Structure 1
Amino acid sequence: MNNENLTQQEASERANLLTVDTYDVHVDLTYASDTTFDSYPTVTTVKFAAQEGGSTFIDYIHHSVDSVKLNGRHLNVNDVVEGSRIILKNLAKENILTIHGRSYFSRSGEGMHRFIDPSDQRTYLYTQYEPADARRVFPNFEQPDLKAVFNFRITAPKNWVVSSNAELERTVEDPSDSSITKRVFKSTERISTYITTILAGEYFVATDRYEPQSAINSGAMPLVAYCRQSLKEHFDSDDIFSVTKAGLDFFQDLFDYPYPYPKYEQAFVPEYNLGAMENPGMVTFTENYLFESGATEAQLEARANVICHEMSHMWFGDLVTMKWWNDLWLKESFAEFMGTLGSKQAGQFDEAWVTFANSRKAWAYTQDQMPTTHPIVAEIPHLEAAKQNFDGITYAKGSSALKQLVAYVGFETFIQAARLYFKRFAGGNTTLNDFLTVLDEVSERDVITWASAWLQTKGLSKLYAHRRYDKAGNLLKLEVEQQLPAAVSPSIGRPHQLNIGTFKLQDSKLELTDTIPLEIPAGDHSLVTVPLSESQKLSVTEADAILLNTEDLTYAKVVVSPENGRATALQYVSTVSDSLSRGLIWGSLWNQVRDAELEVHEFLVAVENSLAQEKSATLLTSITSQAQTAIAHYVPAEQRLPLWDSLLAALKKASASAEPGSDQQLILIRAILSVAAHTPEGKEVAELFAPGAVVGSTAETDRFPGMHLNPTLGWSALKALACLNETTEDILQQAQAHTASALGDRGYAEASASLPQRENKVNAFHRVLTDSELSNDILTATARGFQHGSSTLREGLDLQYFDALLNTWQEKSIGMASRVILGLYPQVNIADGKGDNNPVVRQTKEWLDKHPQAPSALRRLLLELLDDAQRALRGQHFNQG
């Protein structure tokens, strides 16, 4: 029986029935290194109050349940265990429940994930629970508003590192085996199940100490960071600790509330599904934030952002927690905003808001144009919907709306509200209305109307500037037009606080000449006249380009139109001195490419002309990626090769002038190796870097002074050679054997699946679809390789794909099923037909029509994939030569 999908109504009924006191959880990991064991024993005792005589259930996705004892009475396991639920009837006012069972080790990143390092065979375990996977490790009432105190005891090999949310209280040796110990941890604060955590294994440990410099603080405390032993040479813990200390000082003063937990640990773990998770006392991160091939400023900034993001959750999310997942957005939007603010203020990364605008917001703009978009405050009827709402709306649009809210009420007012919110609701669970009530108390602005327009409507506004002239050619006025999304009533509207930038071409540079503030009120204001002083009127008249939303205060698709300088922007964008303004111009141009309003070749010319001049690591990374996406998706397949050749030549030329060892050089080399997979012209440079994987050489390359061979670039090069059919399966296997690492295993999986032989594609397809032994990362890498090369290599597999959808969803966890469905979805090419005549579009629509009762989360994935396919076809039609 599959009854894992807890509904909001069920959770609400259970919360009305129960109050949970404590969990005592013992997890035995003695045999975790032995992969013949697919499970491990657990014992959980829960103390909880209930309405006398009531009935409920406790959640447990298990291998087996050995015994259930409620209030001293053993229950018949066959009678009470129903799928992932254990039924509890005739409850007393005060209850003690003890459950013995076995839980599965995970390869999906959900629950207790087990990873055996191929480089040294060491074992690493960690847990990941959000939104509801603690029940994969121990029985619990899995919902955020049933907070409790947790007491963890972990039995594991004596030489292992073991940690959890709370401080270690004592270690008890096993009297029958001196190599085994039980770690007993102190009690946690009252927290939700999804933010409890366990870390165990042969981790490398780095330590430091936090000595507060902030006026508000919780006192000095130890800092600990973990990573795999094989990555310790790449573990720049000093930088991690430096950001952590600065962040703790910054947030404690900003929030006027001491850090609420007794320790701060951070673990960088393998095969992690997320960027990071805010477990109080011990945050977990993907080890992708440890940089084996060197790090650019943009990568270090991204890591600092995530460190600050998770740290801000200690207050907004952990100390005060949403009642149910429909308010997930509030904690994530807040943390997104604070992560960027913290990385700039505490981490001293000046381009943090550039990254926010061109990376995070770009994600939101994409998501918000999907047919499955939803209001920031979304209705979450069940856990499957919650799992899928960790999306661009919840994170990026929500934080963009918060940035607009800060512009609307003022930063100090916003922070005043946050401080009051933490103090008022510490330790509790809240809803949106709780936050709005506090904000309304401290603000003179109409936050209720603002919230209705921004948080409870869906879709993306589009903003245009229009210069109106009289018959003599004199400027009469400047108007801003807002095209509201179809789902937003004009009577509600979408208010905006924004600035308008005027730019003039001077000495072959596009320079900002004026910044003009504008407020678009809520309600029906589709066309707003901008108040202009005489000097502003002159700036508007003389402007060679007009950019709405300078400083990126609001959330809207801003159009640099032909009438307002698009051609000038395309030619001179790289000369704009302010990186945020450059980023906003690039963002507008990219949106027009995606909307089939700007031809790909025009965008590529602008990118190629800017490669050598762009000094922002964030923007250079962004535009090189967008250029590749434009060719691969929005140009007909038979017309792509000349564009790949042109882009590769431009990248090579720019890299030749890049400073040796610079961020710019590394970004360009990474892009060269990515593009090399698509053109025979890439063979030479791929062969230059491939030895980094094959023999592990770290020598400096003659062609690119300052650039060293390394396994990361080596596997990128081998993948390119595989796509070009310029390497063999034997060479790839030799490289994997030599590298003997997680990186090598992922690289081999992708490169082998990339080889342009029918046999490789069929094997990769079936491995992704049916091999239950594939880990999350290896599955994704195999699927990426499968998608490389001519569509004829995958001919006929699309029918098998659609036939397997329901079984895939039923047999795999939602996380793994989503990876399969996203990874294997067929590509579209306009040569096969446009619109509904395209076979992929037709098959997707037919499947959706035939399966109206399919799980809503599965249908959502297919609807989004269909929308991407249709957008790609519109782009290919627009760009046909």
Structure 2
Amino acid sequence: MPAATASGDEEVRFNLKALEPVLLDFRDGQLLSASLNGTALTLKRENGHLELPREKLRAGENRIRIRFEVPIAAAGKPLTRFDDHDDSSEYIYSLFVPMDASMAFPCFDQPDLKGRFTLELTAPETWTVISNTSVESVATVGPEQRRTRFAETLPISTYLFALAAGPFRKLLTSSGTPVLYVRKSKFERAQAEASEVQQIAARGLQYLSNFFAQPFPFTKYDMVLIPGLAYGGMEHAGATFLREESVLFRTAPAHSDLLNRDILVLHELTHQWFGDLVTMRWFDDLWLKEGFAQYMAYQTLATVRPQENVWKRFYESIQPDAYVIDSTKGTTPIYQEIPNLEDAKSAYGAIVYSKAPAVLKQLAFVLGAEKFRQSLQLYLKEHAFGNAEWNDLVHAFQRVSGEPLDNWGEMWIRHRGMPQMDVSWSCEGDHLSELSLSQHDVLGSADVWPLAMQLGLNYTNHDPVLMRVDLKGKSLRVPDLQGKECPSFIFANEEDYAYGRFLLDPQSREGVIRQLVEIKDTFRRTLLWGSLWDSVRTSTLVRSLLSHSATTLHRYVSPVTRSQYVPRFETLAADRMLHSANADLRIVWFRGLEGITETPQGLSRLNEMLSGQLAVPGVELRALDRWNLVTALLAHGDSEAVSIFTAEKQRDPSGDGQKYAYVAEAARPEAAIKLQYFQDFL
């Protein structure tokens, strides 16, 4: 039978400076027995706490021993069980972030109370067990049972403590390359597909250790692929968990998918310094770890893979989500007040993961790359294995750079929203005679942000002239224009160093439209396209032309208009899927085709792809690709969809296949089916 509970025997040691009642967090499970400083006592749980009475405590060191039992479940619990339907194996893993360690064992469950953990785990002898540190000893304790003891950790917060257990297999590794674990049913796939993950992590380890002037802070570094992990990854100290699907792709991966995987690996790796070595004091400063991890992931990838035009990808992948939210009344500051731990999960979102790294990129431009780096080195050195706040980081930046940053931090970190930057310019003859910049809050407040940007004077016959401009007030007339040629257009955010909405003035918009196809630098061209889009519609940024077209046709136009355009889009997508120059584009058009198809001819084409009569050149469809096609056929009521669905279930009886089939059937346009799924949800 699958494990339903786990029992534990725990000793907690802590020091008291003053005698007063102590609250130990324990929010789930059963307390079986307890003793404090050698004396048995009965503890009552109230509001998720166990109160240790003052009269049983003493100044200095105290020891409490507790026996307890906690649940293990397939979902909704911090100790999660995964049943592998491919080979009937069982896996158990922990996920405590941000405040669920106290649902697995009694503890002081807040990030600013760090401790040293020692784990002993009894499990079947065929299982591999993984935790934050290396195995210290192993002993047989019963029939087919083995107890594994791990070395004591360095000081870490409770949410960074972790365990994983099950018949994991370890990929072969070379010296200096992190270990990677995977469930045994996926071992052969991982051997073929996951070695690049180990390589990018090894290169990241070397780069980050040098960049921070701080060796890897923990005794070892493992990565564990966890099927169905709730997040893309979780940065447990010395043992990062990665969502299996983010490494072993369920659909045919485009090059962009592989880059997303690398960013994920480097993001979680950066956390070993920003988040694990130095942890935010409270979840108000969640962005201190998440924003820096995201920014440094791109910084690292840009260095180890310079051919990838990483900062273009940063602009495309990071900032649109933040811009969308920051242009609405519901946006929040990067710094968010979190009064209680139960509210900590609300702090996660695009402002932390997308705006914060973009603002940090701007700060690196403001200070200069070397002073930015030296500031981070100082911050990590002074707070190693401790906790810190935003003010601690600001002070490090100020001490190294000599620049006052209080106003910068106040506006960018503690104020919500963003500025819109407008440019005005004129020429006399062939020379630029006047250039001025102004800003206003997109939400209409009187806020004024300190901005540093790289402004470009662009020409048809030679490279742009780049100028650094610092705007500290509402407007600025740019001095020192003497001798500057009259440009064809001006763009105020070359290289994307500043954060905000940068619209093209009317003259520049016309110049960009005339010149855009001749601009060879793809990053500059992307920035200009983004600005043009902002000029058309300032409430959102396009992520994909195809998905935007599909959304428009399926949701915003009349049936008559849709019937006119959908066949043309289907034909275009099918043609590009078959004849685009590279596999990445063919994958993009394939995904666009499955998302936009609804005509009988188009649905027939999807059917041919499932049967093998039609193939995407150079692309092997994976299980989820096939199930997405089946879902599309079901959603549009194709006459053969139900029989195709039944056949696909027989073709793919794997654990993943069963999940995909369940999701696919929900697409059937039948009231009884919708009611069934609604009742399942309840």
In structure 1, C-alpha distance between the alignment counterparts of 2:540 and 2:326, rounded to whole Å:
18
Alignment of structure 1 residues 292-441 onto 2, 5 Å: 292-348=250-306, 350-441=308-399
1:125 and 2:125 correspond: no
Do the aligned partners of 1:462 and 1:482 also contact (CA within 8 Å) in 2? yes
**CA distance 1:183–1:409, shift in 2 (3 Å):** same
1:55-80 deviation digits (Å, cap 9, x = unpaired): 13222232322223222233335xx1
Residue correspondences, number = 675
**CA distance 1:190–1:622, shift in 2 (3 Å):** same
Do the aligned partners of 1:343 and 1:349 also contact (CA within 8 Å) in 2? no
Which of residues 561, 566, 571 in structure 2 aligns to 1:649? 571
Which of residues 446, 451, 466 in structure 2 aligns to 1:516? 466
Match of 1:732 in 2: 645
Which of residues 519, 525, 528 in structure 2 aligns to 1:576? 519
User: How far 1:528 sits from its partner (Å)?
Assistant: 2.8
1:145 and 2:112 correspond: yes
Q: TM-score normalized by structure 1?
A: 0.72
Which of residues 611, 614, 625 in structure 2 aligns to 1:713? 625
Do the aligned partners of 1:109 and 1:273 also contact (CA within 8 Å) in 2? no
Q: TM-score normalized by structure 2?
A: 0.92
Where do 5+ consecutive residues of structure 2 fail to align?
Answer: none
In structure 2, C-alpha distance between the alignment counterparts of 1:558 and 1:412, rounded to whole Å:
27
What residue identity is the alignment partner of 1:296? Answer: A
What residue identity is the alignment partner of 1:85? Answer: H
1:157 and 2:133 correspond: no
Match of 1:670 in 2: 591
Alignment of structure 1 residues 481-880 onto 2, 5 Å: 481-486=438-443, 489-490=446-447, 493-502=448-457, 513-523=463-473, 525=474, 527-531=475-479, 533=481, 536-539=484-487, 542-543=488-489, 546-560=490-504, 563-565=507-509, 569=513, 576-591=519-534, 595=538, 622-632=544-554, 635=557, 639-659=561-581, 662-676=583-597, 678-691=598-611, 702-726=614-638, 727-729=640-642, 731-768=644-681, 770=682
| 3-state SS of paired residue (2:178) | strand
In structure 1, C-alpha distance between the alignment counterparts of 2:662 and 2:517, rounded to whole Å:
38
In structure 2, C-alpha distance between the alignment counterparts of 1:496 and 1:190, rounded to whole Å:
39
Do the aligned partners of 2:430 and 2:486 also contact (CA within 8 Å) in 1? no
**CA distance 1:198–1:633, shift in 2 (3 Å):** farther
Do the aligned partners of 1:689 and 1:713 also contact (CA within 8 Å) in 2? no
1:201 and 2:163 correspond: no
In structure 2, C-alpha distance between the alignment counterparts of 1:68 and 1:501, rounded to whole Å:
69
Match of 1:260 in 2: 217
User: How far 1:327 sits from its partner (Å)?
Assistant: 1.1
Which of residues 232, 239, 250 in structure 1 aligns to 2:207? 250
**CA distance 1:356–1:628, shift in 2 (3 Å):** farther
Do the aligned partners of 2:320 and 2:540 also contact (CA within 8 Å) in 1? no
Which of residues 175, 182, 198 in structure 2 aligns to 1:241? 198
Deviates more, 1:37-46 or 1:557-566: 557-566
Match of 1:210 in 2: 175
RMSD over equivalenced CA pairs, Å: 2.8
| 3-state SS of paired residue (1:251) | helix
Do the aligned partners of 2:419 and 2:440 also contact (CA within 8 Å) in 1? yes
Do the aligned partners of 1:689 and 1:709 also contact (CA within 8 Å) in 2? no
| 3-state SS of paired residue (1:754) | coil
User: How far 1:718 sits from its partner (Å)?
Assistant: 0.5
> Quick one: percent identity of the two aligned structures?
27
Do the aligned partners of 1:247 and 1:347 also contact (CA within 8 Å) in 2? no
What residue identity is the alignment partner of 1:48? Answer: F
| 3-state SS of paired residue (1:208) | coil
In structure 2, C-alpha distance between the alignment counterparts of 1:103 and 1:349, rounded to whole Å:
50
What residue identity is the alignment partner of 2:679? Answer: H
1:167 and 2:134 correspond: yes
In structure 2, C-alpha distance between the alignment counterparts of 1:151 and 1:283, rounded to whole Å:
18
1:100 and 2:43 correspond: no
Do the aligned partners of 1:39 and 1:104 also contact (CA within 8 Å) in 2? yes
Which of residues 6, 16, 38 in structure 2 aligns to 1:72? 38
User: How far 1:532 sits from its partner (Å)?
Assistant: 6.1
User: How far 1:144 sits from its partner (Å)?
Assistant: 0.5
What residue identity is the alignment partner of 2:586? Answer: Q
1:402-445 deviation digits (Å, cap 9, x = unpaired): 10000000010011011111111111111111111111111032
1:667-703 deviation digits (Å, cap 9, x = unpaired): 2212211222x55453033212334xxxxxxx6x655
**CA distance 1:39–1:739, shift in 2 (3 Å):** same
Do the aligned partners of 1:457 and 1:487 also contact (CA within 8 Å) in 2? no
**CA distance 1:591–1:748, shift in 2 (3 Å):** farther
**CA distance 1:191–1:645, shift in 2 (3 Å):** same
User: How far 1:666 sits from its partner (Å)?
Assistant: 1.7
In structure 1, C-alpha distance between the alignment counterparts of 2:571 and 2:188, rounded to whole Å:
35
1:430-471 deviation digits (Å, cap 9, x = unpaired): 11111111111110322222212211211022223333468x
User: How far 1:92 sits from its partner (Å)?
Assistant: 2.3
1:536-586 deviation digits (Å, cap 9, x = unpaired): 4422xx33xx433121101112224655326954x8756532222232234
What residue identity is the alignment partner of 1:528? Answer: L
User: How far 1:488 sits from its partner (Å)?
Assistant: 5.4
| 3-state SS of paired residue (2:28) | coil
User: How far 1:724 sits from its partner (Å)?
Assistant: 0.9
